[in-house]
Amino acid sequence: MSLSSSRFGAALVAGALLLGSAPAFAQQPAAPAAPAPGQAPAGQPGGAPQGPLKVDLIPTQADWTKVCGHDNAANKDICYTTRDFGAQKDQAPVLALAVYDVKGEDVRIVRFLMPVGLMLRPGFRFSIDKGPVTEGAFEICFPNGCFAEAKVKKDVVDAARKGTAMTVVVKNQANAEVVFNVPLAGFGKAFDGPAVDPKVLEEQQKKLAAELQKRAEEERKKLEQQGGGAAPAAPAAPAAPAAPAK
């Protein structure tokens, strides 16, 4: 199965990493990365506030997306259920969550795409509805995001299927805790349901590209009106995912 994406569509990128499309992501021209919560933007004065800093995330996608396909390299059937989340609907995603189910294996994978500017050690931890805490580690970073994951048993995914919220705890550069509250409404239905049709997925990507293009144009006009100098280039449209290999 081959999935590719630009620097946008964070959740689909999170899925692509496991299924062999990471190099395509790494080679994309990176947009300036949004700093982690509590981190002062580069070149601006002011330190990060001492934590814990709580960030209530909201979905930036209409619904969870379940994608299934065959990983030819591993010769295994893999499904992942994924969604992007942001601090505000009109802003870029802050975090993406993807939960993997590999046919014939007991271990599931919970993967996150997180913002840059976080401390990579000691990693992260998460819990579901104040349940047991699971620890995970960062795997790899790119200029516009870092992947982190935890290998879990079926009971953790079952808790997510029935749960209402996931609490993800990391540390920023000031060694202060950042707590992301991720809503889980609809996850169970999507995880247990059928995979999205590849054509529908392609249409979703086209819609996302159009929205991003519109947003970039709006920002450009604002900068021109404010006399802000050169406007940023419009973002590249996400590449449509290839159909799963038969």
pLDDT per position as a tens digit, 30-75: 333 344 555 544 434 445 455 589 999 999 888 999 999 888 888 8
| Dist CA 14 CA 90 (whole Å) | 21
| Dist CA 178 CA 57 (whole Å) | 12
Q: By the 8 A CB rule, do 128 and 165 touch?
A: yes
Please check whether residue 212 lies inside any domain of the structure.
Answer: no
Number of domains present in the structure of the chain: 1
Domain span at residue 114 reads 10-29+49-200
Counting Cβ atoms within 10 Å, is residue 27 exposed (0-12), middle (13-18) or buried (19+)?
A: exposed
Tokens of 126: 């998460």
Confidence class for position 201, pLDDT limits 50, 70, 90 = confident
Instruction: Find tokens 């144009």 and name the residue.
Output: 217
pLDDT per position as a tens digit, 45-55: 445 455 589 99
pLDDT per position as a tens digit, 115-169: 988 999 889 999 999 899 999 999 999 888 999 999 999 999 999 999 999 999 9
> 192: closest CA among 162, 152, 151?
162
Q: Looking at the DSSP assignment, which residues form a beta bridge with residue 109?
A: 100, 151
Cβ count near 102 (within 10 Å):
17
Average pLDDT, the chain: 76
Please check whether residue 225 lies inside any domain of the structure.
Answer: no
> For residue 157, what are the CA distances in angstroms to 46, 67, 126?
40, 17, 12
The torsion defined by the Cα of 204, 217, 88 and 189, in degrees rounded to 10, comes to: 0
Please check whether residue 126 lies inside any domain of the structure.
Answer: yes
pTM for the full predicted model: 0.68
Please check whether residue 5 lies inside any domain of the structure.
Answer: no
Per the model's pLDDT, the better-predicted residue between 30 and 78 turns out to be 78
| Dist CA 49 CA 40 (whole Å) | 9
Please check whether residue 121 lies inside any domain of the structure.
Answer: yes
> For residue 98, what are the CA distances in angstroms to 15, 46, 70, 92, 234?
7, 34, 17, 17, 27
| Dist CA 5 CA 209 (whole Å) | 11
Please check whether residue 230 lies inside any domain of the structure.
Answer: no
Please check whether residue 125 lies inside any domain of the structure.
Answer: yes
Please check whether residue 2 lies inside any domain of the structure.
Answer: no
Residue 25 belongs to domain with CATH number: 2.60.40.1880
